[in-house]
């Protein structure tokens, strides 16, 4: 009887050991599958972040193109800028007008649909609650597009879940966009493409004004902080603004006249030329006959022209 008891005891111990090992292996495999799944989801989230950042960038470009197009069509500035940004993002429209081939395909709903299309391939569910989208500036040469979204990502098998509020912030260069001030100022007959001047800090050397002449003739843009409107001010029609991110060019009156546009005898600084303001302005020796510059906010000092021989104002 003792031998039988010992035998059955050993059998019981062996069975329990096998059971424990089997459970441990099963648990290990389960834990390993969770780790693998989490890693896959993290990889998907990283790719998703890159895609949403890219979409935010594309939206910024298309939004500005859409607004420039609307300004040209209506010959009016965008006076409800923030509302228009949101309308473009959700409906690809401005004041109810669909901006075909400009904003379609990159709207909030388009983005949400495409994200979930690809998420299903990874057995993932993604929910995005729009929080806010803005376009602003914090330097003269870029707009800042900031899209804040409340995102939830969950595995279909409920193995893992992410919840977060994230902001996609991108910078878009304003170069190569059309300047709305020229569009409205000439009733759509002439436009000027924004190009940053290559002559900054080197406009005039002694009596050599060749660089300044090229700057003026090409209607290049220079940053003039707190003395000119920013790019977004120009879209909104705030051409009298003195922004820290202000930019300005000189209007080439010869090109305007060649387009049959009547010209004015006043300073050729764009945001002043196309306004009702008419400060004292003078010609400069060696510059085209049509050119005039005013000295508001020490503008002549800004362009190194103050030392040139004085002319009648």
Q: Which residue has the higher pLDDT, 200 or 131?
A: 200
Q: Count Cβ atoms within 10 A of the Cβ of residue 172 and give its class: 0-12 exposed, 13-18 middle, 19 or more buried.
A: buried
Collapsing DSSP to helix, strand or coil, 178 comes out as strand
- The 10s digit of each residue's pLDDT in 249-295 is 999 999 999 999 999 999 999 999 999 999 999 999 999 999 999 99
Query: How far apart, in Å, are the Cα atoms of 124 and each of 46, 55, 115, 217?
Result: 14, 20, 10, 57
Q: Are 94 and 67 in contact (CB under 8 A)?
A: yes
Query: How far apart, in Å, are the Cα atoms of 108 and each of 53, 85, 99, 112, 127?
Result: 13, 12, 15, 6, 12
Query: Computed from CA positions of residues 87, 109, 176, 195, in that sequence, does the dihedral angle turn out positive or negative?
Result: positive
Q: Rounded to 5 degrees, what angle do the CA atoms 79, 57, 172 make?
A: 70
- CA separation for the pair 280, 248 (Å, rounded): 18
Helix and strand numbers, DSSP H then E, in the chain: 9, 9
Please check the confidence at residue 119 and state whether its pLDDT lies above 50: yes
pLDDT of residue 295: 96
Highest mean pLDDT among 42-56, 122-136, 233-247: 233-247
Query: How far apart, in Å, are the Cα atoms of 162 and each of 108, 123, 130, 154?
Result: 21, 14, 16, 6
Please check the confidence at residue 240 and state whether its pLDDT lies above 80: yes
For the CA atoms of 118, 122, 125, 128, what is the dihedral angle to 10 degrees? -50
- Percent of the chain, pLDDT > 70? 86
Give all strands (DSSP E) within the chain, no chain letters. 93-94, 97-98, 124-139, 142-155, 161-173, 222-223, 247-248, 281-282, 293-294
pLDDT tier at 35, thresholds 50, 70, 90: low
- The 10s digit of each residue's pLDDT in 95-118 is 999 987 777 778 888 888 888 888
pLDDT of residue 7: 47
Question: Residues 19-43: what's their mean pLDDT?
Answer: 54
By C-alpha distance, which of 140, 169, 177 is closest to 64?
177
- The 10s digit of each residue's pLDDT in 187-238 is 999 999 999 999 999 999 988 999 999 999 999 999 999 999 999 999 999 9
Query: Computed from CA positions of residues 305, 306, 311, 313, in that sequence, does the dihedral angle turn out positive or negative?
Result: positive
pLDDT of residue 159: 74
Alpha carbon distance, N-terminus to C-terminus of the chain: 127
């Amino acid at each position: 009887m003792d031998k039988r008891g010992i035998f059955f005891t050993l059998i019981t111990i062996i069975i329990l050991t096998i059971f424990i090992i089997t459970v441990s292996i099963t648990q290990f495999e389960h834990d390993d599958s969770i780790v693998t799944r989490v890693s896959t989801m993290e990889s998907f989230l990283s790719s998703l972040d890159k895609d949403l950042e890219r979409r935010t960038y594309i939206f910024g470009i298309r939004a500005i193109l859409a607004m420039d197009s609307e300004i040209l069509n209506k010959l009016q500035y965008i006076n409800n800028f923030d509302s228009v940004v949101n309308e473009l993002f959700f409906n690809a429209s401005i004041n109810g007008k669909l901006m075909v081939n400009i904003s379609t395909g990159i709207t909030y709903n388009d983005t949400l649909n495409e994200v979930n299309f690809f998420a299903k391939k990874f057995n993932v569910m993604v929910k995005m609650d729009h929080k806010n989208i803005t376009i602003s500036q914090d330097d003269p040469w870029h707009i800042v597009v900031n899209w804040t979204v409340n995102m939830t990502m969950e595995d279909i098998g409920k193995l893992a879940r992410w919840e977060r509020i994230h902001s996609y912030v991108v910078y878009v260069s304003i170069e190569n966009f059309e300047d709305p001030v020229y569009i409205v100022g000439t009733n759509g007959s002439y436009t000027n493409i924004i190009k940053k001047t290559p002559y900054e800090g080197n406009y005039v050397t002694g009596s050599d004004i060749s660089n300044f002449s090229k700057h003026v003739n090409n209607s290049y843009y220079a940053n003039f902080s707190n003395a000119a409107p920013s790019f977004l001010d120009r879209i909104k029609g705030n051409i009298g603004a003195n922004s820290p991110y202000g930019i300005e060019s000189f209007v080439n009156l010869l090109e305007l006249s060649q387009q049959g546009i009547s010209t004015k005898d006043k300073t050729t600084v764009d945001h002043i030329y196309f306004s009702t303001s008419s400060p004292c302005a003078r010609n400069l020796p060696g510059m085209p006959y049509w050119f005039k510059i005013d000295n508001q906010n020490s503008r002549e000092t800004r362009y190194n022209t103050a030392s040139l021989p004085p002319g009648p104002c």
